[in-house]
Structure 1
Amino acid sequence: MTTAATSWVIFQRSMRYTLRNPAWVVFGLVQPLLYLVLFGPLLNRIGEAPGFDGGNTWQVFVPGLLVQQGVFSAVFVGFGIISERRSGVLDRMKVSAAGEVGLLLGRMLRDAVVLTAQAVLLTGGAFVAGLRAPAGGVLAAFALVTVVGLAMAGFAYGLALLVGNEEVYGQLLNALMLPTLLLSGVLLPLALAPGWLAGLAKANPLSHIVDAERSLFAGEFTSTHTLVGVAVAAGLAAFTTWFAARAIRSGS
């Protein structure tokens, strides 16, 4: 089978599994919705702070939540592929006519579809809460966060295949993801941070993607933040896909 054919078959299989277990999608929305409901209203009092420019504070807060959703909904998919590898399902697929890269791409496409659905629901709730943003910018932001989801899914699958143990994988996620998210400015603009912290955050690829999401929500399609963020997201997606493909091949 070609890579495209394998990807489509695995995508269909993965989507059927997800639709039979919709609780996973719902649980994935709980955390950002809690931030939206419990933390978002507090922003109304700080609209004049640096990074908000006196505008709609939801335009700053919601894009950060979308990136956070893209990261968290993707990195946990690694647990599933560890289970499939242990049970022998992955090995049986690999010795069939299925292409190895397609085994990953099909799963990653499913992850991207689930993330996009979550992003639409989250943003819809934000519009009810008070978000105002141009439709074109929101759609472009959805596309960008989908690329982020693909990148993080590739990283998750590659790391999970290399580690091969749920406990170790979970500990690595905690060690890597928490500081990465804190240094990305997902909740508050890094303009509020002291100079040393803002400088450190610039080395974090996610911080550029968060800036791009906020620029898109403001309708700034060709700003430096947008162009840099798109380039970073595309580069991450390409690298992590290569990383995951290398990991699944090395496990042959």
Structure 2
Amino acid sequence: MSAAPPSTDVSGPNGSKGARTMSLLRDTWLICLRQLRPTLHSPVAGLGFSALQPILYLALFAPLLSGMPGAMGENPLQWFVPGVLAMLALFGTSFAGFGLLPELRSGAHERLLAAPVNRVALLLGRVLRDIAVLLGQATVILLIVVAFGLRVSPAGAVAGLLVLLIMGVGLGTLSYMLAMSVKQEFLFPAILQTTTMPLILLSGILLPMELAPTWLYTLSRINPLSHVVDAERALFAGDFSDPSVLVGSAVAVAVAVVALALGTRLMRRLAT
């Protein structure tokens, strides 16, 4: 790609707000399609391998939950699947920035920054691609577990996926920000492993946190992911009136809003 004079907005600094918005949406869509192309060329590799770990958890770990107190219903899948989908969203989006590191190392990302494209769209397009992949993976897993007897509320499943996608927007944005900050392939996964493992262990995805000691349960309530997992379980059960639905949804929206605000500021600063 040949370099073009830097421009933070192809509509120009004096363009109308509507023109700038349309430019942002168009550029975001084009970047998303560019990032999606490898996945569309190899959909099995792009969707299947990333979803393999959650499927293994469902096959090898969920049966161990049978009869365990704190699990929702007689079928352990009713309790376990919403948490596994939250795990998929966490790993699928928080490690998204890893794919940006080779472009940062080779200079490809700098050439994109010099192209006549909205800088914020360079971030949003990548995040939109990750959300599309996440939705595809979550849908595949849902179809599999429904075939094996999982009973879910259709409306609750749609609402639960929406909450996960919103949270994925925030986590994906933070992942790309981290990649642009550290720019080192050995440091990026080390930081993520250090942060994601406590989030997983304190979220109640694998085991009910109600069974934990008081101090550990208190720590889990500080973990934002635990509230999203609680909301997912209530939504998939069709219990929209459960207070955890409102709390988990608010947490997901808050993570997305804060991350997008920080990410937008970073991309605009890179344009100067």
Q: TM-score range by the shorter chain?
A: over 0.9
Q: State the Cα deviation string for residues 11-54 of structure 1 (Å, max 9, x = none).
A: 111111221243132111110000111111222232xx1x3254
Answer whether contact 1:74 1:149 (CA < 8 A) is retained.
Answer: yes
Q: Which residue of 2 aligns with 1:36?
A: 58
- 1:225: Cα distance to partner? 0.0
1:102 to 117, 121, 141: 121
Label 1:129 to 1:7 Cα distance change in 2 as closer, same or farther (>3 A).
same
- 1:6: Cα distance to partner? 1.1
Count how many residue pairs are aligned between Structure 1 and Structure 2: 249
Answer whether contact 2:230 2:244 (CA < 8 A) is retained.
Answer: yes
Q: Which residue of 1 aligns with 2:233?
A: 214
* Residue 27 of structure 2 corresponds to residue 26 of structure 1: no
SS in 2 for 1:98: coil
Q: State the Cα deviation string for residues 44-73 of structure 1 (Å, max 9, x = none).
A: 232xx1x32544321210000000000111
**Superposed CA RMSD:** 1.5
Label 1:54 to 1:30 Cα distance change in 2 as closer, same or farther (>3 A).
closer
- 1:74: Cα distance to partner? 0.9
Q: Given residue 230 of structure 1, which amino acid in structure 2 is its aligned partner?
A: S
Q: Which residue of 1 aligns with 2:34?
A: 13
Q: Which residue of 2 aligns with 1:136?
A: 155
Structure 2 matches for 1:51-90, cutoff 5 A? Answer: 51-52=70-71, 54-90=73-109
- 1:77: Cα distance to partner? 1.4
* Residue 134 of structure 2 corresponds to residue 115 of structure 1: yes
SS in 1 for 2:222: coil
Which deviates the most, 238-247 or 206-215?
238-247
- 1:139: Cα distance to partner? 1.2
TM-score after normalising by structure 2: 0.87
Q: Given residue 241 of structure 2, which amino acid in structure 1 is its aligned partner?
A: T
Distance 1:147 1:53 in 2: 25
Answer whether contact 2:55 2:141 (CA < 8 A) is retained.
Answer: yes
Q: Which residue of 2 aligns with 1:3?
A: 24
SS in 1 for 2:150: coil
- 1:245: Cα distance to partner? 2.6
TM-score after normalising by structure 1: 0.94
Q: Given residue 26 of structure 1, which amino acid in structure 2 is its aligned partner?
A: G
Q: Which residue of 2 aligns with 1:204?
A: 223
Distance 1:228 1:6 in 2: 34
Answer whether contact 2:65 2:71 (CA < 8 A) is retained.
Answer: no
SS in 1 for 2:67: helix
Q: Given residue 100 of structure 2, which amino acid in structure 1 is its aligned partner?
A: I
Q: Given residue 56 of structure 2, which amino acid in structure 1 is its aligned partner?
A: L
- 1:203: Cα distance to partner? 0.7
Distance 2:128 2:249 in 1: 19
* Residue 174 of structure 2 corresponds to residue 152 of structure 1: no
Q: Which residue of 1 aligns with 2:18?
A: none
Larger radius of gyration: 2
Structure 2 matches for 1:156-171, cutoff 5 A? Answer: 156-171=175-190
Answer whether contact 2:66 2:74 (CA < 8 A) is retained.
Answer: no
Answer whether contact 1:209 1:233 (CA < 8 A) is retained.
Answer: yes
* Residue 210 of structure 2 corresponds to residue 186 of structure 1: no
Q: State the Cα deviation string for residues 53-110 of structure 1 (Å, max 9, x = none).
A: 5443212100000000001111221111121122222111212221111111111111
The alignment-based identity, stated in percent, is: 41
- 1:186: Cα distance to partner? 1.1
What are structure 1's unaligned runs of at least 5 residues?
none
